[in-house]
């Protein structure tokens, strides 16, 4: 069964304290891995798409990487405005048209 | 530019009532998806349209759920005879073309069934 697991469930950081969020997946035929940010009461906001192992993408303080089994979202010197829930999702051949989402990691950054 | 919009943003229904949730995708986007998000969970797929054709409805939880996109733009998700377990946020997403393209989400409709 296709599965996406995110860890940790919650993460509390001090401003400037860098860390990483993990997304591990077990799917048949990965077509793409997506990272989204979701603020309370809002829909997911697109961050990155990764298609193949070894690929990396960066945007401001965020960097996403992909291996054959997992993806990491690295947050460098976070600020309070980075506080949100970060969702990982995969598109896979066996899953048809659906994106399969993890439960998310809720990040809190305090000043 | 204009993103995906959804209405209403909040809906309270009494058990047994029918509800209709609307999604306006990004102009020119061929693909349209509906997801259901329970509290503290990631979104779960409900159905997919390519233009006006509903190509995948494997995620619809029961025959009380029905979606349409008659002219290939605006879509409506209808839930008949609502039950308490239908309470959730219903998210709509649109994409430029194929199923591997990035999906852009709307703000969601929070449905509460009393």
Read off the pLDDT of residues A62-104 as tens digits, 9 standing for 90 and up. Answer: 999 999 999 999 999 999 999 999 999 998 876 677 889 999 9
Confidence label for B71 from pLDDT (cuts 50, 70 and 90): very high
The DSSP secondary-structure symbol of B33 reads E
What number is the average pLDDT over the span A36-56?
95
Return d(Cα B34, Cα B82) in angstroms, integer: 17
Q: pLDDT at position B80, please?
A: 98
The tens digit of pLDDT for each residue in B28-57 reads: 999 999 999 999 999 999 999 999 999 999
The half-sphere exposure of A48 on its side-chain side, counting CA atoms within 13 A, is 24
Is A43 in contact with B99 (Cβ distance < 8 A)?
A: no
Mean pLDDT of all residues in A33-52: 95
Rounded distance, CA A7 to CA A35, Å?
14
Q: Please, what sign has the CA dihedral across residues A104, A61, B92, B114? A: positive
Size of interface A-B (CB pairs under 8 A): 60
Burial of B41 (0-12, 13-18, 19+ CB in 10 A): middle
| Residues of chain B contacting residue A101, judged by C-beta atoms under 8 Å apart | 42-44
CB contact under 8 A, B43 and A32: no
**B6-17 tens-digit pLDDT:** 999 999 999 999
Q: Do B45 and A87 touch (CB under 8 A)?
A: no
The residue written with tokens 């009393």 in the block is B114
Distance from CA of B75 to the nearest CA of A (A): 17
Is B43's CB within 8 Å of A103's CB?
no
Q: What values do phi and psi take at B8, rounded to 5?
A: -70, 170
């Amino acid at each position: 069964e296709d599965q996406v697991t995110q860890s940790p469930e919650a993460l509390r950081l001090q401003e400037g304290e860098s860390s990483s969020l993990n997304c591990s997946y077990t799917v048949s035929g990965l077509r793409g891995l997506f990272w989204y940010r979701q603020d309370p009461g809002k829909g997911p906001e697109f961050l990155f798409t990764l298609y193949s192992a070894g690929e990396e993408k960066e945007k401001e303080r965020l960097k996403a990487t992909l291996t054959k089994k997992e993806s990491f979202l690295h947050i460098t010197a976070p600020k309070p405005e980075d506080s949100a829930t970060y969702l990982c999702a995969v598109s896979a051949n066996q899953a048809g048209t659906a994106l399969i989402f993890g439960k998310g990691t809720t990040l809190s950054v305090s000043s | 530019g204009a993103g995906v919009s959804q209405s209403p943003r909040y809906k309270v229904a009494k058990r047994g009532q029918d509800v209709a949730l609307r999604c306006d995708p990004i102009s020119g986007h061929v693909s349209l998806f509906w997801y259901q998000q329970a509290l503290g969970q990631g979104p779960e797929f409900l159905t997919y349209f390519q233009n006006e054709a509903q190509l995948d409805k494997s995620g619809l939880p029961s025959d009380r759920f029905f979606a349409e996109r008659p002219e290939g733009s605006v879509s409506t998700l209808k839930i008949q005879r609502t039950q308490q377990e239908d309470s959730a946020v219903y998210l709509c997403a649109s994409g430029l073309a194929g199923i591997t393209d990035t999906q852009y989400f709307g703000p969601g409709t929070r449905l509460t069934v009393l």
